[in-house]
Chains A and B, each alone.
Chain A
């Protein structure tokens, strides 16, 4: 029973990690287009995460630097904690971290 639950729980965690990675890549691309951190970016990332079944309120987002110029790199990092509970064995939270880099496309 614990082994079966382990397969299901870790499989679900990996699925969530993949979804978070995909949302982060899209967000990095959009951050480059916007030239930095902006409410539109946060909204976009929130929508992407929500559509993947991830609550954006439980995710921490970092955009560094917060404002970039033409051809400057910008990194978006997203981290969250996924609770894993295996009956009769243990319960823990797995940290899921995703990052992607894009390049500023706004000529200020």
Chain B
């Protein structure tokens, strides 16, 4: 009985921590999927005139705007998990389009052999149970997503 009473708070804290970690993992997966879909949508939008003229794949001129718009749209679907608005997070994200290849990413140093769209963003996610356990009430997820057409 005494052991149970002593261990109960500890086990409750362990349960709360496990649940919060699980929710954080789900939030991270959603954020990654949001960035992946946004870059995919932007890359799918090829420059039709260039494709017809030379047969080569080249990104549309508004690829960065499209990627940012869809990143915001995807994040908006998980707005209850976020600590800032989806529009603010998308606006602050570092997006880059490399319409011709080969190109070098100025942020990561990666070489791209095809036209590429890249998103790098910091997404603040609410972690209220961590906050209650005297840890950080907001956890920032760093996401990097890169897409190229085949």
Q: Give the shortest distance, in Å, between A94 (CB) and chain B (any CB).
A: 12
Question: Given A71-B45, A102-B41, are A14 and B26 neighbors across the interface (CB < 8 Å)?
Answer: yes
B73 within 8 A of A: yes
Closest residue to A99 on the B side, CB-wise?
A: B77
Of the stretches A15-23, A34-42, A49-57, A60-68, the one at the interface is A15-23
The answer to whether A101 touches B29, judged by C-beta atoms less than 8 angstroms apart, is no
Closest residue to A24 on the B side, CB-wise?
A: B33
The answer to whether A101 touches B15, judged by C-beta atoms less than 8 angstroms apart, is no
The answer to whether A14 touches B70, judged by C-beta atoms less than 8 angstroms apart, is no
Question: Given A102-B37, A103-B41, are A21 and B15 neighbors across the interface (CB < 8 Å)?
Answer: no
Q: Give the shortest distance, in Å, between B125 (CB) and chain A (any CB).
A: 15
Closest residue to B76 on the A side, CB-wise?
A: A101
B 66-77 to A, binary, CB cutoff 8 A, 1 in contact else 0: 100010011001
User: Chain A contacts of B26 at CB under 8 A?
Assistant: 14, 17-18, 21
A73 within 8 A of B: yes
User: Chain B contacts of A11 at CB under 8 A?
Assistant: 18, 22
The answer to whether A100 touches B15, judged by C-beta atoms less than 8 angstroms apart, is no
Q: How many chain A residues touch the partner (CB < 8 A)?
A: 23
B6 within 8 A of A: no
The answer to whether B19 touches A101, judged by C-beta atoms less than 8 angstroms apart, is no
The answer to whether B37 touches A100, judged by C-beta atoms less than 8 angstroms apart, is yes
User: Chain B contacts of A29 at CB under 8 A?
Assistant: 37, 40
Closest residue to B28 on the A side, CB-wise?
A: A18
The answer to whether B15 touches A22, judged by C-beta atoms less than 8 angstroms apart, is no
In the complex, A100→B40 CA distance in Å? 13
A44 within 8 A of B: no
User: Chain A contacts of B37 at CB under 8 A?
Assistant: 25, 28-29, 100-102
B114 within 8 A of A: no
In the complex, A103→B70 CA distance in Å? 9
User: Chain B contacts of A102 at CB under 8 A?
Assistant: 37, 40-41
In the complex, A32→B36 CA distance in Å? 14
7 cross-chain pairs, A with B, having the tightest CB-CB distances, nearest first: A14-B22, A99-B77, A25-B33, A3-B11, A103-B41, A101-B73, A7-B18
23 contacts between A and B (CB under 8 A): A3-B8, A3-B14, A11-B18, A14-B22, A14-B23, A17-B26, A21-B29, A21-B30, A22-B33, A25-B33, A28-B37, A29-B37, A29-B40, A71-B45, A73-B73, A99-B77, A100-B37, A100-B77, A101-B73, A101-B74, A103-B44, A103-B45, A103-B66
